[in-house]
């Protein structure tokens, strides 16, 4: 999986991968997963599940995370365009509550890696988009949670007006509320 370029955030823990896409008169080809290449950029290769979602314009999903088993995500947009987000939710982290947002699309084929101690989400920018993500932990609804998408303490600049939200995302807790829960001890910065 040749990578043309990458950008690292949060001391290299969140990585934006820009794969080399081979195009000709027949179409295109690129490698989505290649263990040795991902590991060069600090992205683990122990994926155990792949998810695929489709959403209409202005849908915001997230900010989601899971602590048991820990679930890191490698996200990509396979149809349309979306704004992918990762937020540091580690107690005592110097970047606690900081976020990164990138526009990924079926055209640029960007992939965003965020470890399990980041809450992740996205907003759909095109009329319709499909997002696929490889995860490092199988889904467990008893050990997952979310942070309010528009928590003012975080201040994500979502590029959508009048977002379409699930009931769960609309009523999610704030980062401050999450940090007061005992489960948040699963996300502690210890450098």
* Residue tagged active-site, from 9, 110, 117, 133: 133
* 133 catalytic residue (yes or no): yes
What is the rounded CA–CA span in Å between residue 144 and residue 160?
A: 26
Strand 49-56 to 128-135 pairing: antiparallel
The helix (H) or strand (E) run that includes residue 73 is strand 73-79
* Residue tagged active-site, from 9, 64, 116, 117: 64
* 25 catalytic residue (yes or no): no
According to DSSP, residue 70 is labeled B
Q: Say which residue the tokens 């994500």 belong to.
A: 156
Output 5-9 pairs: Cβ under 8 A, ≥24 positions apart.
Answer: 6/41, 8/41, 8/42, 9/86, 9/100
The helix (H) or strand (E) run that includes residue 49 is strand 49-56
Give whole-number Cα distances, 176 to 40, 95, 112, 134, 188, in Å. Answer: 35, 14, 25, 28, 14
Asked whether the beta carbons of 160 and 60 are under 8 A apart, the reply is: yes
Which residues does the annotation mark as catalytic?
A: 64, 133
């Amino acid at each position: 999986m040749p990578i043309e370029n990458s950008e690292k955030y949060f001391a290299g823990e969140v990585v934006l991968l820009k794969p080399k896409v081979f195009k000709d008169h027949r179409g295109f080809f690129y490698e989505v997963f290649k263990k040795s290449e991902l590991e060069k950029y600090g992205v683990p290769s122990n994926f155990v599940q792949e998810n695929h979602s489709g959403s209409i314009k202005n849908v915001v999903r997230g900010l989601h995370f899971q602590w048991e088993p820990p679930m890191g995500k490698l996200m990509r947009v396979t149809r349309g365009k979306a704004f992918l987000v990762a937020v540091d939710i580690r107690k005592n982290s110097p970047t606690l509550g900081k976020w990164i947002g990138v526009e990924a699309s079926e055209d640029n084929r960007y992939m965003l890696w965020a470890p399990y101690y980041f809450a992740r989400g996205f907003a759909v920018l095109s009329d319709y988009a499909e997002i696929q993500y490889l995860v490092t932990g199988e889904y467990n609804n008893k050990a997952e949670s979310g942070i309010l998408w528009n928590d003012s303490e975080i201040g994500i600049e979502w590029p959508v007006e009048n977002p379409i939200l699930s009931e769960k995302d609309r009523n999610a807790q704030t980062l401050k509320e999450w940090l007061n829960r005992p489960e948040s001890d699963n996300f502690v910065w210890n450098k």
